[in-house]
Structure 1
Amino acid sequence: MRRLTLCAFISLFVLIDAARAQDTLRFSGFDAPNLTPKAERILSRAYEELGIRIETVISSPRRALLDSAAGKTDGELVRVKIAGSAHESLIRVDVPIIEARTFAYANKPELHGKSFGELKHLRIGHVSGARFAAELAKGFSEVWTAETPEQLFEMLLRDRLDLVIVGEGTGRRIVRERELKDVFPLTPSLRTVSFYHYLHEKHAALVPRIEAVLRRQLEEAREARPDDDVPGEAVPEENVLHRIGMT
């Protein structure tokens, strides 16, 4: 009898412990200072409404995706839209939570209204190692690189560059901090990438619940949006919870 009682107690303890474990979800992520912390804040707030805590397991981008697809974690914190196409075990939560845009910045008034493609005769700069920016800069008369975006904007002010390729968030921050009233981005953006949250298929039932929370938060963010954007601040757009810039 004592043995049966002990077994029943142990079984009850295991069940309670398992239930508690389900209150925390562990998502794969990778080191991206402009992306991961913002995604964690957005998703932590959303999952909190469902009574769920989240944790991020940081590894390399490749390892993070393999672990989430294999079910070693509960999903992906954020990935681009095509990430799930190669992994059927990952279900995309169909609300873009972060959007990253890249712009070319200039300070010459005559460049207002010009398209990027018609400016190949100018001098352009980008952060060293930014592969996408390097591709965009191909064909320009002069291409310069620098270690930091701040150095690029200094070159722009000293008339050593005509255009600087940086992410929107970075560009806005530098323009605001240095009060560069004559510096402006050429429109439209050079690249726009949306990031989504993914859950492993073992949590398929949770997908519509978290999607509903995110959609409601998006709607609330739209309604609370100020009439005029404050330079340097990320504000919710029509279909995204947060906007950042990535070089």
Structure 2
Amino acid sequence: MEQQTPAPRPGALGRYILGTLLLFCVVTEAPAAAPLRFSAIENSAFTDFATEVLTEAYRRAGNSIEVQPLPAARALKASSSGLTDGELYRTQGLEKRFPSLIPVNIPIFLSHWQAYTKNTPLEIHGWDSLRGVKIGIRRGIATTDKGTEGMNTVSTNTNESLFQLLVADRVDVIVLSKINAQKEINKADYPEVTLQSPAVQIVPVYHYLHKKNAALIPPLEEALLAMTNDGELAQITDKHWPWLVQ
């Protein structure tokens, strides 16, 4: 019976080749996906709030985000063109003007749009109450653009300049969200500025994705609904605006 010759042991070169092949066969962890980047209205009191809400929502959905603050009109150009991944937040109905932007159908906030005057009472019964007066509004904001359509308006790029117009008697009334108005009032004392009630309009605020990211909507809606039901959304709201009564 013939005796089998044992296989030769690999030399140094063989061991090097074997080790190299084993190294390439090791399964490595895939690199993390790049954060999604969203346009946001610069100098808005909503931005920090919405960033915190959506950072948590995207974390639950397995993603991360970055925020790019821009002037309101430029922010919409960037998001609707796909230059950014969407709009951090905007009021309901934006998709009618910008079909490339799709709302995530769980509101993150209810925005109260208020009229402010300079020591002058004004009866508020919706937008039609403002006909016949000169109105200051923020440029590029869909809610006030639509609500004051056909009226006598003056547009500015910042909330601060809206208050300056009112105090200087260059407009009769300004309309902006209660959150942003309170931010300006906290920064500078405006004793002559009077909040008029009730709200001109109460509008749900939504997160919007560019259509290229439509596949992200179902898991994000699930995350936001869970945050609404487990109280996380209310806790973040109270953290940012403890004085606000929704």
Q: Provide the TM-score with structure 2 as the length reference.
A: 0.59
Q: Which residue of 2 aligns with 1:126?
A: 137
- Secondary structure of the corresponding residue to residue 161 of structure 1: coil
Separation in structure 1 between the aligned mates of residue 217 and residue 48 of structure 2, nearest angstrom: 25
User: Following TM superposition, by how much is the alpha carbon of 1:63 offset from its aligned partner in structure 2, in angstroms?
Assistant: 5.3
Distance 2:215 2:20 in 1: 32
Q: Distance in 1 between matches of 2:41 and 2:237?
A: 28
Separation of aligned partners in 2, 1:209 and 1:25: 22
State the match for 2:234 in structure 1: 221
Query: Is structure 2 residue 202 aligned with structure 1 residue 188?
Result: no
2:66 alignment partner in structure 1: 56
Whole-Å separation in 1 of the counterparts to 2:79 and 2:155: 31
Partner secondary structure for residue 35 of structure 2: strand
Name 2:150's counterpart in structure 1: 138
Amino acid at match of 1:105: Y
- Contact 2:108–2:233, Cα closer than 8 Å, also in 1: no
**Does the CA-based 8 Å contact 2:139-2:156 persist in structure 1?**
yes
Q: 1:210 maps to what in 2?
A: 223
Pick one of 100, 104, 107 that aligns with 2:115: 104
- Deviation per CA, 1:101-129: give whole Å up to 9, x if none: 53321244542455541442333333567
> What is the CA distance between 1:92 and its match in structure 2?
5.8
Please identify the structure whose Cα radius of gyration is greater.
Answer: 2
Q: Residue type matched to 1:174 in 2?
A: E
Secondary structure of 1:111's partner?
A: coil
Structure 2 matches for 1:37-186, cutoff 5 A? 37-48=48-59, 52=62, 54-56=64-66, 58=68, 61-62=76-77, 64=79, 67=82, 76=86, 78=88, 83=95, 93-108=104-119, 110-113=121-124, 115-127=126-138, 133=144, 136=148, 138-140=150-152, 143-144=153-154, 148-157=158-167, 159-176=169-186, 177-180=188-191, 183-186=194-197
Counterpart-to-counterpart distance in 1, 2:193 and 2:76: 38
- Residue from 16, 20, 23 that aligns with 1:9: 23
Conserved 8 A contact 1:175-1:181: no
Return the letter of the residue paired with 2:51: E
5+ residue gaps, structure 1, are 238-247
SS at match of 2:171: coil
Which runs of 5 or more structure 2 residues have no equivalent in the other structure?
Answer: 1-13, 69-73
| Partners of 2:139 and 2:218 in 1: CA distance | 44
1:163, distance to aligned residue in structure 2 (A): 1.0
- Could you tell me the TM-score, scaled by structure 1's length? 0.59
The Cα of 1:221 is off from its aligned counterpart by: 1.5
Alpha-carbon distance, 1:54 to partner = 1.2
Q: Report the alpha carbon displacement of residue 77 of structure 1 after superposing the two structures with TM.
A: 6.1
Aligned match of 1:30: 39
Q: 1:49 to 1:183 in 2, by over 3 A?
A: same
Q: 8 Å contact 2:104–2:206 — kept in the other structure?
A: no
% identity of equivalent residues: 15
